[in-house]
Structure 1
Amino acid sequence: MSPSLIAGFALGFSLIMAIGAQNAFVLRQGLKRQHVFWICLTCATSDAVLIAAGVTGFGTLAMAWPWFEQVMRYGGAVFLIVYGARNLRSGWTGGAALTSAQAQTGGEPALWPALATVLALTWLNPHVYLDTVVLLGSVSAQYPSQLVFGIGAALASFTFFFSLGYGARALAPVFARPRAWQVLDIGIGLTMWAIALGLIWI
């Protein structure tokens, strides 16, 4: 197997393993079994587009526009504060539980609002650009084939997001209890706020 492919996969996987806003949303959708395939596909495809931009040299162009980073940073912070508040409110009020009927069938909300949320969590996060476009783009230049390196990193994104989304189902029995959902929602809300504060105070 190509060293460039392995290196791209390893670095790409390590960059997306940390629990962040995007991963927390994928986990939540996976637990609720709502639009899991499309959510995972959207996340992985978005990463692949950004990785492609990085390995083809867009990273240097993005670094030439300092205003772009500022706009994404503060826009992302505002979105994360609002989204985090929603989760904290849900965790505070409680009352949610994952029943076996919900886990298997109906009650799915519309697809487009979920996709809009995950797209915002992905594309309004400046760390995504730093990791995929700038970092992966610059590291790829050190390998014989930047294209193969990028393919490896994109494969890592597809592997991670689909594993997270569908692997979350194993936790369904735990989240049959309302208290578990409260803990998850509060944890996600606090994670969103921590990331938002980190963006503001960089």
Structure 2
Amino acid sequence: MPVALASASPDPFAALAGFGFGLSLIVAIGAQNAFVLRQGLLRRHVLAVVAVCALSDAALIAAGIGGVGLAISGLPLLMTVVRIGGAVFLVIYGLLAARRALRSATLAPDAGRASVGLAATVATCLALTWLNPHVYLDTIVLLGSVANSHGDSRWLFGAGAAVASVIWFTALGYGARLLRPVFARPVAWRVLDGLIAVIMIAIAISLLVGL
């Protein structure tokens, strides 16, 4: 009598688990979220920024599930170079935010200054995403490891995490406009840019301390 080989079927709840886990990783205040929030408040290139963040997360999640995390963990020199490059970029961006906070003429979003173009905005968003080692550790290494623990359901887990990224960045970018009445006052922009400067420089210091 032939014996049927048992195969583990994908768990549909893995997608929910991935959604929750992915959301827990990206909701924390960080360089990427601060940038998306500011672009949302300014209503400048929001769709492009949201798309870059969401697609980047999806690519990193897929790489983690595909096993890239193991390769990265075996290349400490590469991570060191990324840490230093990311720290330098974050310090520069943080100092620019601090200058905006200190110069009253540039506090309001429509204070007569030229808006940053689409290419420059996308480039900044890509740099904040791909030059931040925390992104690799969170998505490729940590999320990838947890996803692979789900066996045949690992890609469902990853899909759930990717959907969480899309929903979060869309809500952050387009929901920021609800705060526009608050940011009608220049002092609110001073506070926001001051917080962004602190966040960027604090992350840069954490990157360098971790070397």
| The two structures share one fold, judged by TM-score above 0.5 | yes
Partner in structure 2 of residue 131 of structure 1: 138
Count of residue pairs brought into register by the alignment = 197
> Does structure 2 conserve the Cα–Cα contact (< 8 Å) formed by 1:98 and 1:172?
no
1:4-15 correspondence to structure 2 within 5 Å: 4-15=14-25
Matched with 1:196 is 204
1:82 to 89, 92, 99: 92
Match of 1:150 in 2: 158
Q: In structure 1, what is the Cα distance between the partners aligned to 2:167 and 2:71?
A: 29
- By how many angstroms is 1:3 displaced? 1.4
Give the distance between the partners of 1:161 and 1:153, measured in 2 at CA.
Answer: 12
TM-score w.r.t. the length of structure 1 is 0.94
Partner SS for 1:18: coil
Q: 2:177 aligns with which of 169, 174, 177?
A: 169
Per-residue CA deviations over 1:26-72 (Å, capped at 9, x if unaligned) read 00000000000110000000000000000111111111111111011
Partner of residue 44, structure 1: 54
5+ residue gaps, structure 1, are none
Question: Does the residue aligned with 1:189 lie in a helix, a strand or coil?
Answer: helix
Counterpart of 2:18 in structure 1: which amino acid? Answer: G
Q: Percent identity?
A: 54
Match of 1:114 among 113, 116, 121: 121
Root-mean-square deviation (CA, aligned residues, Å) is 1.6
Q: Which amino acid aligns with 1:97?
A: A
Matched with 1:58 is 68
Find the aligned partners of 1:113 and 1:98 in 2 and give their Cα distance: 17
Q: CA deviation at 1:22?
A: 0.6
| Contact 1:174 1:180 (C-alpha < 8 Å) held by counterparts | yes
- How far apart are the structure 2 equivalents of 1:168 and 1:46? 21
- 2-structure distance, mates of 1:76, 1:149: 29
1:33–1:169 contact (8 Å) kept in structure 2:
yes
Structure 2 spans left out of the alignment, 5+ residues: 1-10
User: Which structure would you say has the larger Rg?
Assistant: 2
- 1:145 match: secondary structure: helix
> Any runs of at least 4 consecutive aligned residues in structure 1 with deviations exceeding 4 A, and if so which?
none
Partner Cα separation in structure 1 for residue 176 and residue 115 of structure 2: 17
Report how far residue 152 of structure 1 moved. 0.6
Q: In the TM superposition, what is the alpha-carbon distance from 1:11 to its structure 2 partner? A: 0.5
